Amino acid sequence: MAMLNPIERVLKVGLVSISDRASTGVYQDQGIPALQEWLASALTTPSQIETRLIADERDVIEKTLIELVDGQHCDVVLTTGGTGPARRDVTPEATLAIATKEMPGFGEQMRQISLQFVPTAILSRQVAVIRETADHAALILNLPGQPKAIKETLEGLKDTDGKQKIAGIFAAIPYCIDLIGGPYIETNEAVCKVFRPKSAIKPK
């Protein structure tokens, strides 16, 4: 089966919060609301959002990521939670297990951003991968668990005048989605300015 024409598709984003306690109702999940709020402020491209709140179980995480990419045809999947060194933190292992390509630059940049605030950022094991099937491909990224860190990781860091000091990872996501055959993503530049080579920029 041939890939769907990107022009004919609305951007689909999967949001997955991975937490034993939040998934059982011990406390309210903060990851998905933080992701939804940031995407609402940043995206100008129409999008559909699929959300999943699941336990920190490797097989559950793997099945959820596969379902969102292969079944729901999400173009981007953002996970939050389960990326530390604790025994229950298995999000990176699950993500890598269902991947066809690893994208190490995203994890490197996420840790670089977090290191501006805490030295324990080196304990984070966040990864990013591409999963490809015969008719679809998606970018999957593991994000931090805290709402403030989610925003900083996606948006980057700015000085008091609003000038970008360190680029956030979302600046590179739209061009990555272009390259794997997904829909053209545009953003509110006041929140996050996308970078594309001039040859890849579509006229307004």
In the predicted structure, residue 13 carries a pLDDT above the cut 70: yes
Q: What is the pLDDT of residues 117-131, one digit of tens each?
A: 999 999 999 999 999
- For the chain, domains (ranges, CATH) are 9-196 (3.40.980.10)
Q: Is the pTM of this model over 0.85?
A: yes
Q: Are 140 and 70 in contact (CB under 8 A)?
A: no
> For residue 61, what are the CA distances in angstroms to 23, 57, 142, 166, 189?
12, 6, 12, 31, 33
Average pLDDT over the chain reads 93
- Number of Cβ within 10 Å of residue 118's Cβ equals 11
Query: What percent of the chain shows pLDDT beyond 90?
Result: 85
